Copies of this chain bind each other. A is one copy, B any other.
């Protein structure tokens, strides 16, 4: 019996940590109101601009990504403002909940789970139901593994002078080509525990000049997630309130690594792993849940007829210490999700797939052992030569 089991995360956050980043936090006995820390903070913010692919300010908050999502509601709107929300899963629904919490009037463009948002419908609603203060979407919907056409949505919003586009790119950053400045993504939101390879606890928001103008006029209540206040303090290298210092130091280190790897290469790595996973799923006789527009950040695979994905998740955890994600909400039991976010390499994917083949076999799905791995190997070889 195999008695050594190493725990591994294959979930769309938290993701595997870069140990060099973690190691750096061990000596981080820094006070946050010192020049030593301000230097780290300034460099981190500069490197976040690189990671976000923008010249805009990138704000940082000690919170989960949802905190920055809330900030992009409270800072851009006044009570009663009309906003358009594109939703195609659990994280799209979070926009609806946030808009309701702040008393906004919401027009919803909805896609069925597993499908991307209809750009046509967004275009129609922008014309027929506007004006809107802001449009809220995801870059990739982590609950379904779908990638939305952010560029096409941006092309619709950019010409509207009083409407900002807010993109939750918490799992999109580092996995998807996003061009905030070129396309006009006014607010882009990120989180530390995704492609950035550090633990949960930090949230980010890049903010465009167009958004800053709107923020000045917005009257929704805010305090902790006050964008203008944070911008002012961060310009001095300080956060308004006590930051999670070790996470900042860890992030400083991982951003150094990401600059070495290169943003585009990090994205290409996720794209390769995602394609390999899709080919593996097909080889194993499984269907992709988001086949029409799959994300690079994660792959959602449908559980074979008559089986519960919880059983596959459980097998992976018990046998291999490997944590993969079940579906959420109404998709629970129907899909399982495997992430490619950040610090993953090809060998790790081969290992995960070999484990999944065994788990599938054990829960009663007939498939040829090794055939998923083989399909993934072929994709690797297509790109790596």
Contacts and interface: CB of A to CB of B under 8 A. Distances in A.
Contacts of A342: 4
A372 B374 CA distance: 10
Given A266-B3, A358-B381, A320 B344 contact: no
A154 B333 CA distance: 57
Given A345-B321, A347-B320, A350-B350, A2 B380 contact: yes
Nearest to A377: B369
A94 to B, nearest CB: 29
A346 interface: yes
Contacts of A355: 346-347, 350
A352 interface: yes
Given A370-B374, A384-B1, A384-B319, A345 B268 contact: no
Contact of A345 (B4, B272, B273, B373): B4
Interface centre among A262, A371, A374 (most CB of B within 10 A): A374
A344 B4 contact: yes
A163 B3 CA distance: 38
A240 B370 CA distance: 54
B4 A269 contact: yes
A3 B261 contact: yes
A354 interface: yes
A373 B368 CA distance: 11
Contacts of A380: 2, 358
A361 B380 CA distance: 13
B384 A2 contact: yes
A8 interface: yes
A113 interface: no
Interface string A200-230: 0000000000000000000000000000000
A242 to B, nearest CB: 24
Contacts of A383: 1-2
A188 to B, nearest CB: 22
A354 B373 CA distance: 7
A279 interface: no
A347 B351 contact: yes
Interface in A235-256: none
Contacts of A357: 377
A377 B358 contact: yes
A3 B350 contact: no
A319 B273 CA distance: 15
A226 to B, nearest CB: 36
12 contacts: A3-B262, A3-B266, A4-B261, A6-B348, A347-B354, A348-B351, A350-B351, A350-B373, A358-B377, A369-B378, A370-B372, A371-B374
